[in-house]
Structure 1
Amino acid sequence: MSAIKAIVTDIEGTTSSIDFVHQTLFPYAKAHLRAFLSAHAQDEAVQQILHDVAQIEARELTPDQAATVLEQWIGEDRKLTPLKSLQGLIWAQGYASGELKGHVYPDTPKYLRQWHAQGLKLYVYSSGSVAAQKLIFGHTEHGDLTPLFSGYFDTRVGAKREVASYQRILESLALLGEEVLFLSDIGEELDAAREAGLKTCQLLRDDRAIAFAHHPSAHDFAGVKV
């Protein structure tokens, strides 16, 4: 049996509070969405986002109509790349101004640093954009944690409940499934990862997490067996 060489971690409910994302980040992005689109309408990145929204909706959209669609997607918690990209841009502005600080559980930096010191490669896989992931870990109250990570994956690699997404991650890492441990609070994500061959551990950080008995579990990173 191969030893674990890499850990791939989810963010919400795993390294960071679900409430931070849903009660702080999402409302912040929604509140600043229209002003940001207006101020940056000519930016190439924003132009691409508006194009992608129109493609998904399969109709021509004015910037105002696209903003309405994006606001609706935020309300529905849609895991769509153009929305995640826009949220990342808005959050970057918030982090840069000091209005936002990335939340991580108190044990997160301790164990990320410990695993990194042990020679394990650390990666993030979240439905939030790579840019947003780097912002959360780069602006925490425990300092910049991004040097601990070797890479990041988002919805561009596929949906988190699809087996093929984890197969692509393994291809990218050039590792066997049994050499990679995936951490998440969502059972269906863990199911997909295990089917792709990865080792799994479910984080049960609060009462909202639904335990999947066929995966090892831990209440915090101290209980994760590596």
Structure 2
Amino acid sequence: MTRPTAILVDIEGTTSAIAFVKDTLFPFAEAALDNFLADHAKDPAVAALVDDVRALAPGQDPAAALRGWMAADAKVTPLKTLQGMIWEAGFKDGRLQGHLWPDVAACLRAWSSAGLRLYVYSSGSTRAQKLLFGHSVAGDLAGLFGGFFDTAVGPKRDPASYRSIAAGLNLPAQEVLFLSDIAEECDAARTAGLQTCRLVRPGDGTLPGSTHPEAVDFPAVAAAFGLPRPG
């Protein structure tokens, strides 16, 4: 096994509880949707986003289309971008703090201090990713990461997405370790040549049984792959 030189982490179910996204972030964005669209109608970025929604859902009211995608938890880039915009206000004024499992922050700091390169790949927008880690319950961790990737790079179950990320990092794919709770995402990453480890956190109700190495938390990942552990 090649010792990883870079670690690519998913968020929901991996660094953070699935319930945080479902029970806190999603309802917050849904409640603010109408006022946000009305208040920012003349903002060029929001206007462009609404145009993208109309292109993807022709004939539908944009707000209705967005609500439908929210209800289905659709991985649609305009929706994820809008959610990131709405969450930004909540994080910046303190109404929201990014949830992290208690083991995550210390391991990320230890890995970064040891020279490992850290990156995020999540279906949530890069804006949302930076907000979650920048305003987390463990403080500002955004600076630990060398880059953030979302569905703009491609679907998370498509091997081409992981090939693109590895190429963008100028690293051999086998030197990148991908951490996710979703077996199909790990399948795609492995097909692209990345190392994989599936998180099976009891607090999220994730069940073991994939064909990938599995770990209950980040210290277990560190033990399995020879990575530094917090002092």
Is contact 2:183–2:210 with CA below 8 Å preserved after alignment? no
SS at the partner of 1:84? helix
Is 1:167 the counterpart of 2:167 in the alignment?
Answer: no
Unaligned runs of 5+ in 2: 226-231
Is 1:211 the counterpart of 2:208 in the alignment?
Answer: yes
Letter in 2 for 1:151: G
Corresponding position of 1:33: 33
| Mapped partners of 1:114, 1:120: distance in 2 | 9
SS at the partner of 1:159? coil
Q: Which runs of 4+ in 1 moved over 6 A?
A: none
| Mapped partners of 2:37, 2:45: distance in 1 | 11
CA RMSD of aligned residues (A): 1.1
| Mapped partners of 2:73, 2:127: distance in 1 | 18
| Mapped partners of 1:118, 1:82: distance in 2 | 37
Q: Show the 5 A alignment for 1:113-192.
A: 113-192=109-188
Aligned-pair CA distance for 1:211:
2.7
| Mapped partners of 1:35, 1:213: distance in 2 | 43
Corresponding position of 2:190: 194
TM-score with structure 2 setting the length: 0.93
Letter in 1 for 2:171: L
Aligned-pair CA distance for 1:142:
1.1
SS at the partner of 1:183? strand
SS at the partner of 2:78? helix
| Mapped partners of 2:80, 2:110: distance in 1 | 30
Aligned-pair CA distance for 1:60:
4.9
| Mapped partners of 1:96, 1:60: distance in 2 | 35
Corresponding position of 2:83: 87
Is contact 1:187–1:212 with CA below 8 Å preserved after alignment? no
Q: 199-208 vs 47-56, which deviates more? A: 199-208
| Mapped partners of 1:194, 1:218: distance in 2 | 16
Unaligned runs of 5+ in 1: none
Deviation per CA, 1:77-127, whole angstroms, max 9, x where unpaired? 000000000000000011112111111111110000010011000000000
Number of residue pairs aligned between Structure 1 and Structure 2: 222
Corresponding position of 1:47: 47
Corresponding position of 1:220: 217
SS at the partner of 1:181? strand
Corresponding position of 1:6: 6
Q: 96-105 vs 26-35, which deviates more? A: 96-105
